[in-house]
Chains A and B, each alone.
Chain A
Amino acid sequence: MATVRTRETARRRSPRAPRSAGEWRITTLTGLGLLVLLAIHMVANHFVVRSVGGLRDYRQVLAYIANPVIFTIESLFLLFVTVHAMFGLRSVLLDLDPSPLLRRWIDGGLAVLGLATLAYGYFLIGTLASRA
């Protein structure tokens, strides 16, 4: 059925945004990385030590994080989980149709939050590793 239509393009609140395939790739790749890193983290922290819940006591935590292999894995895990979380949050917030200005605030805010998370996380594990 032929119809008369206005030839407007889809109404978008913003001018064309940069290509977004890269964000999908980052979210997907960090997610796939987390399948391995998170599995290692959960097994190591809940299923190895013979204690209630598999939880480590204070000295065991220090000994654990001082291991260079573990330190590297946990550092990578922190990076991957923070990036994945920030991109995931961004995706949820974009579903709410923010204005172009608000979208810039969201991007900036999540970048700051992510960097702050990484900074504190690395401070935390670095301090604990140094105490071992």
Chain B
Amino acid sequence: MSPADPVLGSSSASRTFRVYRYKRGDPGWRFDPFEVPVGPRTTVLDALRWIQLHRDGTLALRHSCFHASCGTCGMQVNGREVLACVTLADPLGSTITVEPLANIPVLTDLVVDMSRVFERFPDEIGIVRMSEELPEASPPVGIDAFERFEDCIECGLCLSACPVSATSDAYVGPAALAAAQRLLEEPRGVDPGRILDWADDPMGAWRCHAAFECTEACPSNVRPAERIMALRGALSTGRRPVAAVTPR
């Protein structure tokens, strides 16, 4: 065991991580236990990377920015959807269960097929973030035609948390519906009627049952549930929502 690490702490503060494991070709999934040293500032991502470095190099997971802006490290920790890079391990108890996001096919270990999240978005949604319009980014001319839902980091936590998605893969899900509502707030050349038509479907806005788990899970203050309700208000009354859904 290595000397005490300023982030990971000393070996006397170890926790048991039960980590979901699955590789293609395996007959099924399993949980592998790992004893991981945890300090007061150790995040779940730190712990998982420690496992990769010191215990099992075959553990597969996605991460990128380390500060909750990319949405890549979304997973379930003790049954709750979180971004692992900003979730402290210390308060989570002596045994910490780490699983991939729910309702999305697993590719391997903690990695899910995020194309199943991206494909649910309406076709009118662009693919470039606001940050890429900063002068330093030297964006190409016409890039504003591709601006999309600024707050959403497409992490998939909302889809994993949604109780309706537990039984329905056809439901487009909170992120896509919230993005559609955002397009109604600020169409940017998109026909609002097409967005309303897209959402007005049994597997669109009407599949939501107001559990609000998506808003609870969202790490980016998108408030998808409130946006879905605003979208339903627009569908119920046949008009575009006038008031924007403001951040808390």
Contacts and interface: CB of A to CB of B under 8 A. Distances in A.
B136 interface: no
A97 B118 contact: no
Interface in A59-108: 91, 94-97
Interface bracket on A = 20 to 34
A124 to B, nearest CB: 33
Given A24-B206, A24-B236, A97-B168, A2 B200 contact: no
B79 interface: no
B222 interface: no
B115 A5 contact: yes
Interface residues of B, number: 35
Contacts of A50: none
Given A2-B127, A16-B201, A24-B206, A10 B167 contact: no
A21 B235 CA distance: 6
Contacts of A97: 167-171
B88 interface: no
Contacts of B236: 21, 24-25
A94 B204 CA distance: 12
A52 interface: no
Interface in B193-248: 197, 200-204, 206-207, 209, 232, 235-236, 238
11 contacts: A5-B119, A6-B118, A10-B120, A10-B170, A10-B176, A21-B200, A21-B238, A25-B236, A94-B207, A95-B167, A97-B170
Interface of B: 64, 70, 115, 118-123, 127-129, 132, 154, 164, 167-172, 176, 197, 200-204, 206-207, 209, 232, 235-236, 238
Interface of A: 1-3, 5-14, 16-17, 19-21, 23-25, 91, 94-97
